[in-house]
Amino acid sequence: MNLIVAVDKNWAIGRNNKLLVSIPADMKFFRQTTTGKVVVMGRKTLESFPNGLPLKNRTNVVLTKNENYKVQDAIVVHSLDALKEELRKYDSEDIYVIGGDSVYRQLLPYCRFAHVTKIDHAYEADTYFPNLDELTEWSIAGDSDEQTYFDLEYAFMLYQNHNPQKL
């Protein structure tokens, strides 16, 4: 299983249920990486999308505690166990965790790769991702050259978990 996230220099990922910044090359990378794949998210992440609709050309799986939550064109599960059972139906290499905070934290131990867009700027934020540089089981497996978008510098990083748990 994989995850994909954009973080600032403090590993912040959002504020008020919104991304900190929208970088076109990062959005393109996200689309190219996840199209045709399975994306796993929490309810608030889904609701943050345009019109609160699932992403096109992907299998959308939503984890929420709300037993009455329904959304067209998405698979809704209500517990980590139910999510694991659903995800076992797919090739783990085709699964991408896309947020938010609690879903990332619950599924991080099961992910083998993390695609992290690291933005060299500190934003005001209320949501953070675990700092993979401080977790011994994670290491950098690859990175891009530094990119720029106006005055923002960022890089695409690939982290590898050397001991992922089985679903």
Asked if residue 130 is part of any domain, the answer here is yes
Task: Tell me the HSE value of 119 on the side-chain side, using a 13 A CA sphere.
Answer: 23
Which pTM does this prediction carry?
0.96
The residue with tokens 């890089």 is 155
Residues 6+ apart with CB under 8 A from 37: 58, 59, 94, 95, 96
Q: Is residue 166 part of a domain?
A: no
In a domain, 63, yes or no: yes
Asked whether residue 167 is assigned to any structural domain, the reply reads no
In a domain, 109, yes or no: yes
pLDDT at 136: 97
Provide the domain count of the chain. Answer: 1
**Predicted pLDDT of residue 113:** 98
Domain carrying residue 97: 2-161
Mean pLDDT by 10 residues, the chain (167 residues): 98 96 97 98 95 96 96 96 98 97 97 98 98 98 96 98 95
Confidence at residue 133, expressed as pLDDT on a 0 to 100 scale:
98
CA atoms within 13 A on the CB side of 136: 0
Alpha-carbon distance of 16 to 125, in angstroms, equals 8
Domain CATH for 98: 3.40.430.10
Model pLDDT for residues 66-80, shown as the tens digit of each residue: 999 999 999 999 999
Tokens of 161: 């978990």
> Quick one: pLDDT at residue 132?
98
Q: Residue 152 has what pLDDT?
A: 97
